[in-house]
Chain A
Amino acid sequence: MFDSSTIVVGLEVGTSKVCAVVGEVGPEGALNIVGLGQARSRGVRKGEIVDAGLAEEDIRRAIVEAEQMADVEIRSVFLGVTGGHLRGFNNRGVHPVVSADREITEDDVKDVVKNAKAINIPAQNHVVHAIRQHFCIDGQDGITDPVGMLGSKIEVEVHVVHGIVNRLQNPIRVIKGLQLDVDDIVFGGLASSLALLSNEQKELGSVVIDIGGGTTEYVVYANGIIKHTGVLALGGDHVSNDLAYGLKVPLSRAEQLKIEHGSALMDDSVKGQTLTLTSETGAMKIINLENLRRIMHLRLEEILQLIAQDLEQANVMDYLRGGVFLCGGGARIPQIANLAEQVLGLPVSVGKTQSMSGIKSALDQPEFATGIGLVKFGSFQQRKRTSKSGLSAGLKSTFGQIFRRS
């Protein structure tokens, strides 16, 4: 039996699937994926639970599968959260260095970070992440570790991801119902980016776009730090729904058509082509392939355009030399990379999970990026926790207290 401290579990309750990834953190901090469990998700829409009963069942199936595969007992998970209510923004904190010799101490750093986190968000919102960016000492920018440097004023920027607390609590409550603990909640897009990007790519400036079933998340890295995050409550479900509406077929059939005949780009080869479908009752239906592609193309193009607009507004377009990395089920759509290249004007590729060993089949799939990222996030936290009880432990206890059952 493994010691539970070396096992890290990531759980993603997605719109199309629930996915539990079990990772084993080695003595040197190396991460090895040892188990994977997944189940079709039925109780989730747009990344948020709408039917707790079904969601609980699906989560249990995924967890059990992962437990069997990894041969471990799962006690706690790092939970991926998403949803249209999540917002990301940057906030700046300032702190004067008061010590006589003007040397910046750890306490100064703590204070400035605390100031930066004192943000003005609605009362019902909860901060999911407050990620430290670079420090700035007396106007000198780009300092990663200011301890021991001299200065009179220290500033820091944090990227804050926050969401509505009730909606964040819904999945936690369901997981508590399964007698599992939630170590921490992690923004799904952030987890995906951890799984996909190498340090070099973060330095160069990259975007990770996770096109999921119900939501599309994106995270922008520049100069090694998170510059911008965003969530659109749009995803593969919308494509299927559009097809079901436009082609007048049932949703399940639309889903199937999307997978079998879909593509992100319109090309001349489908002009005038048709498909003949036979329903269970034997009724024939002819579907125009060109229409299918057009509907799909327009929706995907729109999603990417919305992201492009947001990136444009956040003024991060010029930092992105590393390019765009796609993941999530949407990354499987043929030619999606070409479409994204057209829309964003950046080099685009489908992301590959980085620097991890383990089950090959799990690592190769773009859908599992979030799950793997969650494990990676967990392993970082685990390492931190051994040295000091930090922010994540505080978070855990906050949520733990609220939802502890009997």
Chain B
Amino acid sequence: MSTEEFTGAAVGQDKPVEPVGASSPAAMPQEQALSSAPEAFPGVFVVGVGNAGVNLVDALIRQDFPASSCAVVNGDAPALGGSLAAHKIAMDKQGRGMGFGGDPERGRVGAESCQAQIAECCKERRSVVIVCGMGGGAGTGGAPLVARLAKAAGALVVCLPVMPFECEGALRGRIAESGLVDLRKEADLVLPFRNDRVVSSEAAVSVLDTFKSANEFIVCLLKCVVRAFTAGNVMGLPFSDICTLMHDRADLCLAAAAESAGAERAETVVARILCHPVFEHGSATLAEAETVAVNVVGGTTLGIAEINKIVDRVAQESASTPLVMGAAIHPEMGDRIAVMVLVDFRKGPQTEAPRMVSEQQARGSRMAEMPDMGPGSSRPPSRLVPPPPDLSQERLRQIHSQAGRGRKGAPRMRQVQLPLDIISRGRFDKSEPTILKGEDLDIPTYVRRGISLN
């Protein structure tokens, strides 16, 4: 990591990176040198924006993603300097090497100042994956611009914004949601990850553990996305098509990814997906969706039965929701198998509404919704920390809506099967069930086979 560690004028220097101007001439030759290097993930380029973005890109590189296919964009010079990514773009024109104080407007201006460098990085990439933390300055302000530049350069842009914890305050939440709206306008597909979903109600879980688990989920998703772009599609839709499809239909799109290896890998991976924090409402979330997309990536040992099992299981959970799938082979996978499930909602899942008030903002016009979100009117509990009755009510609702977070698998199963059992017996309610080989044949065939109606 000698020459590749720094961009522009900072090349070869061993002191912390010196932020560079927008039109640094030295960025060009280095860029060319890097793109000629052999890549395991050809055509994919990952850009981390803001501190969170830098951290996540570093985590990705630590998992053997080539550093040369990564760029970090940040205003915070020390964080930038410590990054493993090959391309480092400093956003601060003044060269002070400080952050933007959580102001997205300054973040946007900062990003504009280094437009040329960002555009250069994104040149001739087939797909660009942007990862950023929302709610701060650099990520919220910078990511939409990066997305626009990448798209202008002809790449398919997928964005993985990480939404702040609720306890970080209503203001930060609002900023993040508005950033999400901007991002949706620019990127091809936005797959937000809500940090709140990994919050455990158990007191014993530390902040660091929570961060760690959130990071694991996001990096897994990130990895799955970059892999899905580069894997050779063998079945169903290629990932880029899924992205387009989701973008065309979605107001809100969520994604969950999981990996597994070993003998029971198909079962394990699908179980992991179904209890993924993103889908914590379980089958309800899947069944309420407009579309469900399943992307399976495996090594050369990927079996058709495994694909079948995974898709079948997800189809079962998603009830009548139309399902698209794609399966691909990536040499890097070995005997592992990775599954990514994307769901999209026309108006956002209903269960989301009480918890994520600011979600409305993302759905509708931001301006129209803003007054509702006004100071202290709709969300006082998260702004005022102490009052116990308010907080407990909010908490109650939260707990209510996510009851049994610890044991997600079992209750969800029962929820699906119970109504089916009762309703579908219909006419045969009082007669002896026709059971053959353990199957109750009175239940409609299409239900038992998990075939969805459109």
Do A84 and B446 have beta carbons less than 8 Å apart?
Answer: no
- Closest chain B CB from A210 CB (angstroms): 16
Cβ-closest 9 pairs across A and B:
A242-B444, A45-B431, A233-B434, A298-B445, A291-B453, A299-B445, A241-B426, A241-B427, A302-B445
Query: Which residues of B lie under 8 Å from residue A291 when comparing CB positions?
Result: 453-454
B409-454 interface with A by 8 A CB criterion:
423-424, 426-428, 430-432, 434, 436, 441-442, 444-447, 449, 451, 453-454
Do B442 and A241 have beta carbons less than 8 Å apart?
Answer: yes
Contacting residue for A246 out of B430, B431, B442, B444, CB 8 A: B444
- Closest chain B CB from A336 CB (angstroms): 15
A234 to B434, CA, bound (A): 8
Do B427 and A240 have beta carbons less than 8 Å apart?
Answer: yes
Do B453 and A246 have beta carbons less than 8 Å apart?
Answer: yes
Query: Which residues of B lie under 8 Å from residue A341 when comparing CB positions?
Result: none
Do A298 and B451 have beta carbons less than 8 Å apart?
Answer: yes
> With A241-B426, A241-B444, A246-B444 known to touch, is A232 a contact of B454 (CB < 8 Å)?
no
Do A232 and B434 have beta carbons less than 8 Å apart?
Answer: yes
Interface of chain B: mostly helix, strand, loop or mixed: loop
* A223 CB–B CB distance under 8 Å: no
Query: Which residues of A lie under 8 Å from residue B446 when comparing CB positions?
Result: 242, 246, 294-295, 298-299
Interface size class of A (residues with CB under 8 A): 20 to 34
Query: Which residues of B lie under 8 Å from residue A48 when comparing CB positions?
Result: 431
* A290 CB–B CB distance under 8 Å: yes
Interchain residue pairs with CB less than 8 A apart (9): A234-B434, A238-B441, A242-B445, A242-B446, A244-B426, A288-B454, A298-B444, A299-B445, A302-B441
Q: Which residue of B lies closest to A85 (CB)?
A: B432
A238-272 interface with B by 8 A CB criterion:
238, 240-242, 244-246, 251
Query: Which residues of B lie under 8 Å from residue A46 when comparing CB positions?
Result: 428, 431-432, 434
Do A295 and B453 have beta carbons less than 8 Å apart?
Answer: yes
Do B444 and A251 have beta carbons less than 8 Å apart?
Answer: no
- Closest chain B CB from A248 CB (angstroms): 9
Sample of 9 more A-B contacts, CB < 8 Å, known A240-B427, A299-B446 = A232-B436, A233-B441, A238-B428, A241-B444, A245-B424, A246-B446, A246-B447, A301-B445, A302-B441
> With A234-B441, A242-B446 known to touch, is A251 a contact of B426 (CB < 8 Å)?
yes
Query: Which residues of A lie under 8 Å from residue B453 when comparing CB positions?
Result: 246, 288, 291, 294-295
Do B442 and A45 have beta carbons less than 8 Å apart?
Answer: no
Do A238 and B436 have beta carbons less than 8 Å apart?
Answer: no
A115 to B35, CA, bound (A): 88
A298 to B434, CA, bound (A): 17
Query: Which residues of B lie under 8 Å from residue A238 when comparing CB positions?
Result: 428, 441-442
User: Per-residue 0/1 for A296-340: is the Cβ within 8 Å of any B Cβ (1 yes, 0 no)?
Assistant: 001101100010000000000000000000000000000000000
Query: Which residues of A lie under 8 Å from residue B449 when comparing CB positions?
Result: 298
Query: Which residues of A lie under 8 Å from residue B424 when comparing CB positions?
Result: 241-242, 245
Query: Which residues of B lie under 8 Å from residue A288 when comparing CB positions?
Result: 453-454
A46 to B446, CA, bound (A): 20
- Closest chain B CB from A236 CB (angstroms): 11
Binding site for B on A (CB under 8 A): 45-46, 48, 50, 84, 232-234, 237-238, 240-242, 244-246, 251, 288, 290-291, 294-295, 298-299, 301-302, 306
Query: Which residues of B lie under 8 Å from residue A294 when comparing CB positions?
Result: 446, 451, 453
Most chain B beta-carbon contacts within 10 A, residue among A50, A232, A295: A295
Binding site for A on B (CB under 8 A): 423-424, 426-428, 430-432, 434, 436, 441-442, 444-447, 449, 451, 453-454
Query: Which residues of A lie under 8 Å from residue B428 when comparing CB positions?
Result: 45-46, 237-238, 241
- Closest chain A CB from B200 CB (angstroms): 39
A186 to B29, CA, bound (A): 93
Do B434 and A84 have beta carbons less than 8 Å apart?
Answer: yes
Query: Which residues of B lie under 8 Å from residue A241 when comparing CB positions?
Result: 424, 426-428, 442, 444
- Closest chain B CB from A185 CB (angstroms): 20
Do B432 and A84 have beta carbons less than 8 Å apart?
Answer: yes
- Closest chain B CB from A216 CB (angstroms): 11
Do A245 and B426 have beta carbons less than 8 Å apart?
Answer: yes
Most chain B beta-carbon contacts within 10 A, residue among A48, A240, A241, A244: A241
Do B436 and A306 have beta carbons less than 8 Å apart?
Answer: yes
Query: Which residues of B lie under 8 Å from residue A246 when comparing CB positions?
Result: 444, 446-447, 453
Do B444 and A295 have beta carbons less than 8 Å apart?
Answer: yes
Query: Which residues of B lie under 8 Å from residue A295 when comparing CB positions?
Result: 444-446, 453
- Closest chain B CB from A257 CB (angstroms): 14
- Closest chain A CB from B443 CB (angstroms): 9
- Closest chain B CB from A168 CB (angstroms): 15
Query: Which residues of A lie under 8 Å from residue B444 when comparing CB positions?
Result: 241-242, 245-246, 295, 298-299
A288 to B453, CA, bound (A): 9
Query: Which residues of A lie under 8 Å from residue B430 when comparing CB positions?
Result: 45, 50
A37 to B239, CA, bound (A): 64
Q: Which residue of A lies closest to B449 (CB)?
A: A298
A298 to B451, CA, bound (A): 9
Contacting residue for A290 out of B427, B431, B434, B454, CB 8 A: B454
Query: Which residues of B lie under 8 Å from residue A298 when comparing CB positions?
Result: 444-446, 449, 451
A234 to B436, CA, bound (A): 11
- Closest chain B CB from A254 CB (angstroms): 9
A251 to B445, CA, bound (A): 17
A237 to B431, CA, bound (A): 12
- Closest chain A CB from B312 CB (angstroms): 15
> With A238-B442, A295-B444 known to touch, is A251 a contact of B427 (CB < 8 Å)?
yes
Q: Which residue of B lies closest to A290 (CB)?
A: B454
- Closest chain B CB from A242 CB (angstroms): 4
Query: Which residues of B lie under 8 Å from residue A50 when comparing CB positions?
Result: 430-431
Query: Which residues of B lie under 8 Å from residue A237 when comparing CB positions?
Result: 427-428
- Closest chain A CB from B432 CB (angstroms): 7
A180 to B388, CA, bound (A): 79
- Closest chain A CB from B170 CB (angstroms): 41
Query: Which residues of B lie under 8 Å from residue A302 when comparing CB positions?
Result: 441, 445
Q: Which residue of B lies closest to A215 (CB)?
A: B434
A240 to B188, CA, bound (A): 44
A52 to B308, CA, bound (A): 48
